[in-house]
Amino acid sequence: MATIRLGDKAPNFTADSSLGQINLYDYLGDSWGILFSHPADFTPVCTTELGTAAQFKDEFAKRNVKMLALSVDGAASHVEWIKDINEVENTTVDFPIIADEDRKVSDLYDMIHPNADNTLTVRSVFIIAPDKTVKLMITYPASTGRNFHELLRVIDSLQLTANHKVATPANWKNGEDVVVSPAITTEDAKTMFSKGVKEIKPYLRMTPDPTA
């Protein structure tokens, strides 16, 4: 079983899905990606999550993020489950749900934790950058639904910090002040960031969001 760490290449795979055969790299293309794993179809918390993911489709699209989910059940089961999700959540799930009956993808992504269950995938999230590296991993317990506002916030941070020499502080939201990278001197930062630099401590400098 593989162990994935931040910065590793996301393992590629080809698998059946609710929308036919999917190759991960081909599906993502030059986009960011977010992959959700689910322990099984027709599970209550996951039903609300996939419905919420569909409701957030426009927000993910604005950020050039493609969604896909995974469950260890088959594609035909996924199609039936989607009908329930669309009805319960009053939405339309139009992203693929990977069928992983042989646990091939689950093993690639270390989604099966024996301490939780030997056969069912845990509820993980992987955010994948356009260069196919893994930028974030979160694993939730079965009893706690995922926070999609937080996932959007993290994507905003990842995309901002990928293109600018900044980091985002605790509870940061898109458009708020950011932290100047420690690798940059205050003198260079004042040249680099035209909106100004506030030095709170020599190692803690803030600047307005360079994209705002």
SS3 100: coil
Secondary structure E strands in 49-197: 65-71, 97-99, 123-128, 134-140, 166-167, 178-180
Using CA atoms, how far residue 115 sits from 39, 95, 101, 111, 138, in Å, is 14, 30, 20, 12, 17
Classify residue 173 as left (phi > 0), alpha (psi -120 to 50) or beta.
beta
Q: Which residues contact 87 (CB under 8 A, 6 or more apart)?
A: none
Closest residue by Cα to residue 19 from 92, 120, 87, 88: 92
Amino acid at 57: K
**Residue among 34, 46, 97, 134 flagged as catalytic:** 46
The pair of three-digit structure tokens given for residue 183, joined into one six-digit string: 């690798």
Q: Is 92 a catalytic residue?
A: no
Closest residue by Cα to residue 42 from 74, 80, 8, 94: 80
User: How far is it, in rounded angstroms, from Cα 48 to Cα 54?
Assistant: 10
Which residues does the annotation mark as catalytic?
Answer: 46
